[in-house]
């Protein structure tokens, strides 16, 4: 009979722990924020012109979900009203797409999307990159687990 041996974990030394900690604690860099902003604004613009696709719908939905999770968590709770309006407009746009195969929204819907964009942009500027990553992960887990406040498109049709 042989004895059990401990399997030692080997950690990668390619990461500079000090630089990694500084980057995690810092506010997200402007270059990364600008990429996110461009993608989100392009999605809003696509809805304005009526040329939105499912990808733009998913981009707006992701922004809305993260914004709502952060607002419920205490970061910008004033965004909850705008989140509800934007959610109703996204559901209506999805239903309209199923009927007409065209993704568009009304004027109040565009304003709701712009409000969500502004609130979310302020939220992510107020937290560190590591904290923002935690909020994204929390949103993803809540969506996967079908938490009580998560609405599914199939349920919204009823």
Are 80 and 68 in contact by the 8 Å Cβ rule? The answer is yes
Residues forming beta bridges with residue 52, ordered by sequence position: 103
Residue 10 lies in a domain: no
Q: What is the pTM of this model?
A: 0.78
Residue 73: φ, ψ to 5°: -85, 0
Domain range enclosing 75: 27-156
Whether 143 maps to a domain, the answer reads yes
- The reply to whether 13 falls in a domain is no
How many separate domains does the chain show?
1
Dist. CA 117–CA 73, nearest whole Å: 18
Per-residue pLDDT of the chain in tens (158 residues, 90 and over written 9): 678 888 888 776 777 777 777 776 766 677 888 898 999 999 999 999 988 999 999 999 999 999 999 999 999 999 999 999 999 999 999 898 999 988 889 899 999 999 999 999 999 888 888 898 899 999 999 888 887 777 765 555 44
CA atoms within 13 A on the CB side of 23: 10
**Helices 54-72 and 30-49 meet at what angle, rounded to 10?**
120
Per the domain annotation, does 117 fall within a domain? Answer: yes
């Amino acid at each position: 009979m042989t004895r059990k041996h401990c399997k030692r974990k080997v950690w990668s030394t390619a990461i500079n722990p000090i630089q990694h900690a500084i980057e995690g604690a810092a506010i997200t860099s402007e270059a990364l924020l600008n990429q996110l902003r461009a993608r989100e604004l392009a999605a809003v613009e696509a809805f304005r012109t009526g040329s939105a696709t499912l990808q733009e719908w998913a981009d707006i939905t992701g922004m809305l979900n993260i914004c709502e999770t952060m607002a419920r968590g205490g970061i910008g709770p004033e965004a909850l009203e705008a989140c509800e309006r934007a959610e109703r407009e996204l559901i209506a746009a999805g239903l309209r797409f199923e009927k007409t195969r065209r993704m568009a929204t009304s004027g109040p819907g565009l304003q709701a999307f712009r409000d969500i964009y502004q609130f979310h942009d302020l939220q992510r500027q107020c937290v560190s990159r590591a904290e923002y990553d935690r909020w994204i992960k929390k949103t993803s887990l809540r969506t996967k687990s079908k938490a009580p406040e998560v609405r599914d498109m199939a349920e919204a049709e009823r």
